[in-house]
Structure 1
Amino acid sequence: MARPPLTLPEPAEIRALIDGEGRLAVRVTPGARGVGLEIGSGGLKAKVREKPQDGKATAAVIALVAEALGIAPSQVELLRGATSRDKHFRVML
C-alpha cells in the first residue's frame, strides 16, 4: 500500500504564524500514520511517524518545518517543549 503524499501548507501561511521574535508554536502528533503540517484554529499542527523517543519526533518536526519553509534544518531551533507535544521553535529566516 502506497504512503499518502506529504502535505505541507504554503510557506507564506507558516510565516504568518511566526511572531516578531521568530517564535513558532507547533502541536505535534508523534507516531502518526501520515506525515505533514496543517494550519488549524490553534496554530500549526505537525504529524510525524517517529516515536517520541530520544528526540526523534522533535528532529522530524524540525526537518518538516524547515522543508515547508524552504530553509535549512539548522535554522530551526527548539526553544521549549522537548518532552511535550506542544513545542516552541525559533525560526531564523
Structure 2
Amino acid sequence: MPWRQTSDGITVALRVTPRGGRDAIDGIETLSDGRQVLKVRVRAIADGGEANRAVTELLAKAIGVTKKAVRITSGTTSRLKQVAIDGDASALDQALRGLTADHKPTGKS
C-alpha cells in the first residue's frame, strides 16, 4: 500500500500528473524501484502551487476530510509527493482502500 498510518493520521505517497485533463484518483502504481504510489491527476498546471492546491483539495474531498487536514510534506516541486492527512488513521485507511478497490495495481511501463 502506498500509505502508512501515523500517530496523527496517515501518510500517502503520490505520483501526480498536472494538466491531466480531469481531477481523479487513478489507483495504485508500482514504480520501477518497487515503491507503490497513489496515482493522482489534476487539471491544474504545475505553476505557482496550483497543482498542489488541486491535489490537496481532491484528496480532502475524496476521503471526506477538511482541506486543512491535508498537507504536502515533501515533493512540492516534484511529481512524487508525500502527503500527510490528519484524522483517525483506521478511518482514513478504510477510505483510501475504498477509493482504490476498483483499481488494480499497475507497473510502470
Same fold (TM over 0.5): yes
- Please list the CA deviations of residues 23-64 of structure 1 after superposition, one character each: whole Å capped at 9, or x if unmatched: 111100001112200212333111101100010000000000
> 1:77 Cα deviation (Å)?
1.1
The CA distance in 2 between the partners of 1:66 and 1:33, in whole Å, is: 19
Q: Which residue matches 2:38? A: 44
Q: Which residue matches 2:16? A: 28
Q: Which residue matches 2:105? A: none
Give the share of equivalent positions with the same residue, in percent: 29
Q: Between Structure 1 and Structure 2, which shows a larger proportion of strand residues? A: 2
Q: Which residue matches 1:84? A: 78
TM-score (norm 1): 0.77
- Stretch of structure 1 that moved more, 57-66 or 30-39: 30-39
**Alignment size in residue pairs:** 78
Q: Name stretches of at least 5 consecutive residues in structure 1 with no aligned partner.
A: 1-15
The CA distance in 2 between the partners of 1:71 and 1:20, in whole Å, is: 16
TM-score (norm 2): 0.66
Amino acid in structure 2 at the alignment position of 1:35: D
Q: Which residue matches 1:63? A: 57
RCO comparison, higher one (Cα < 8 Å, 6+):
2
